[in-house]
């Protein structure tokens, strides 16, 4: 399969984008705040799903899903959040990225709600800090946590989730038509020469 030839179709300036898209309404610009206010805190405390976007020192990006009981992300104060690092597959993509590039983007979701909360900031990885006691799961505090210093926070319009119909059960594919995660996993191992037995 050949790569797309896009060289004669590249957008090379923000001015070109603005010509096609237009400018945002003043309210859309001013909805962004540099803190976690009570409204944002309430949203985060009800969220059971979030995504962490990070990138390494070369700018290679990664987005990692994180989910737990509502309120699993701890709002330490108006400027800081703490995300528990629960045991997983041990790839530590997000953690290793943060060590090299502290900039992260967070996307919080409340099931059934079409508006999402976006938070951007700078992160560090911590261990053995008393704040981790606030993030216990089955009476066990995580070994590691991610502290995010909040630089930007805003509510995002419902268009994407509304158009996707993500919360509408009738729009979901039947189980027998959904992709098999195990088939994908094994196919990717095979591409990389790993023998699945």
Query: What domains does the chain contain, in order, with CATH numbers?
Result: 31-165 (2.30.110.10)
Mean pLDDT of 55-61: 94
Contact between 106 and 157 under an 8 Å Cβ cutoff? The reply is: no
Is 118's pLDDT higher than 90? Answer: yes
Contact between 117 and 81 under an 8 Å Cβ cutoff? The reply is: no
**Residue 17, SS3 per DSSP:** helix
First to last CA, the chain: 30
Contact between 125 and 99 under an 8 Å Cβ cutoff? The reply is: yes
How remote is the C-alpha of 109 from its chain's centroid?
Answer: 9
> CA 8 → CA 11, 21, 105, 142, 155, distances in Å?
9, 20, 32, 51, 36
Residue whose C-alpha is closest to residue 49's, from 74, 69, 35, 63: 69
The CA radius of gyration of the chain, in Å to the nearest whole number, is 20
Angstrom distance (rounded) from CA 195 to CA 197: 6
Is 13's pLDDT higher than 80? Answer: yes
> What's the pLDDT tens digit per position in 61-116?
999 999 999 999 999 999 999 999 998 889 999 999 999 999 999 999 999 999 99
pTM of the model: 0.91
Is 40's pLDDT higher than 90? Answer: yes
What's residue 1's pLDDT? 85
Q: What is the mean pLDDT of the chain?
A: 94
Is 197's pLDDT higher than 80? Answer: no
DSSP assignments along 134-178, one per residue: GG-BTTB--SEEEEEEEEEEEEE-SHHHHHHTTT-GGGSPPGGGS
């Amino acid at each position: 399969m050949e790569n797309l030839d896009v060289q004669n179709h590249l957008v090379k300036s923000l001015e070109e984008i603005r010509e096609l898209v237009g400018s945002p309404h003043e309210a859309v610009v001013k909805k962004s705040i540099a803190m976690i206010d009570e409204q944002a805190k309430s949203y985060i405390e009800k969220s059971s799903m979030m995504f962490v976007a990070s990138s390494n020192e070369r700018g290679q990006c990664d987005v990692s899903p994180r989910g737990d009981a509502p309120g699993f992300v701890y709002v330490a104060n108006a400027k800081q959040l703490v995300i528990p690092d629960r045991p997983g597959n041990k790839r530590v993509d997000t953690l290793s990225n943060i060590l090299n590039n502290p900039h992260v983007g967070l996307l919080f979701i409340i099931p059934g709600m079409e508006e999402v909360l976006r938070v951007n900031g700078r992160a560090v990885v911590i261990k053995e800090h008393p704040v981790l006691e606030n993030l216990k799961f089955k009476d066990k505090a995580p070994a590691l946590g991610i502290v995010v210093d909040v630089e930007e926070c805003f509510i995002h319009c419902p268009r994407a989730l509304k158009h996707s119909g993500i919360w509408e059960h009738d729009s979901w594919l039947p189980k027998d038509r959904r992709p098999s995660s195990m088939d994908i996993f094994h196919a990717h191992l095979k591409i990389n020469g790993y023998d699945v037995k």
